[in-house]
Amino acid sequence: MTETAWQARIAENLRWVRERIAAALDRAGRQADEVVLVAVTKTFPATVVRAAAAAGLCDIGENRVQEAAAKRSELQGLAGVRWHLIGHLQRNKAGSAVELFDMIQSVDSLELAAALSRRAVGAGRAVSVLLEVNVGLEASKSGFPPHEEVLLRAVEGILPLERLKLEGLMTVAPMAHNPEEVRPVFRRLAALRAILQERYPEAPWGHLSMGMTDDYEVAVEEGATMVRVGRALFGQRTREQ
């Protein structure tokens, strides 16, 4: 598919997704500009990232460091895009992650946060991070367990780390046939953020990154400030990650 064909497909899908988000915001009585739409381009080529940016999608989500590095080197001249890492990060890739991403949404241990901080200091950069919470306690997923004490302890360790900006929480909900089934997961993440916000009011707890193609409307109703959408914008992936 050519870049122009991609642009047409994305523009049409984007209209639909934006309408769904606006309707969900409206149902929840929220302001219209409260949700950042992160376009998840994993498995799609660099052309798709360029077409997405041309359609006005300036937040791009990738789940692998190497894949993102390859796309970024193909897209040298592409300005105005914020890159988000949304997949599990190994500590030995912390250095590349800091170079490649503006926000790392998948911080799942204090050790990883410390490694990112060291690398950010070394690179003279600041990096925004979200703590990933495994609300569904699924063995296949990473993230902190959804327990107040565990998160409070993690936050206590992370807040003093230099060059890291802790901006909120992220979760990947379990698979469900009906998105209503995962509403309690989103509600739980919002409740955990409220607890952390009360305890550490000095940290900017602005973001709740939750909701994907199958459940972003429910996530927005439950307070998502960021949704991460792939298939609804770009179509089915031919290879899963």
Ligand X SMILES: *Cc1c(COP(=O)(O)O)cnc(C)c1O
Residues in contact with ligand X by the rule CB under 6 A: 40, 42, 63, 86-87, 172, 212-214, 228-231
Q: Which residue's entry shows tokens 């290879």?
A: 239
Helix (H), strand (E) at residue 82: strand 82-85
Helix (H), strand (E) at residue 131: strand 127-132
Nearest-approach distance from CB 124 to ligand X, in angstroms: 28
**3-state class of 3 per DSSP?**
helix
- Specify the residue, 59 or 161, whose C-beta has the smaller distance to ligand X: 59
Contacts of 84 (CB under 8 A, 6+ apart): 38, 59, 60, 61, 62, 101, 102, 103, 104, 105, 228
- Specify the residue, 68 or 172, whose C-beta has the smaller distance to ligand X: 172
Nearest-approach distance from CB 95 to ligand X, in angstroms: 22
- Specify the residue, 76 or 236, whose C-beta has the smaller distance to ligand X: 236
Helix (H), strand (E) at residue 127: strand 127-132
Beta carbons of 229 and 37 less than 8 angstroms apart:
yes
- Specify the residue, 37 or 98, whose C-beta has the smaller distance to ligand X: 37
**3-state class of 140 per DSSP?**
coil
- Specify the residue, 42 or 71, whose C-beta has the smaller distance to ligand X: 42
Nearest-approach distance from CB 239 to ligand X, in angstroms: 12
Nearest-approach distance from CB 198 to ligand X, in angstroms: 27
Nearest-approach distance from CB 232 to ligand X, in angstroms: 6
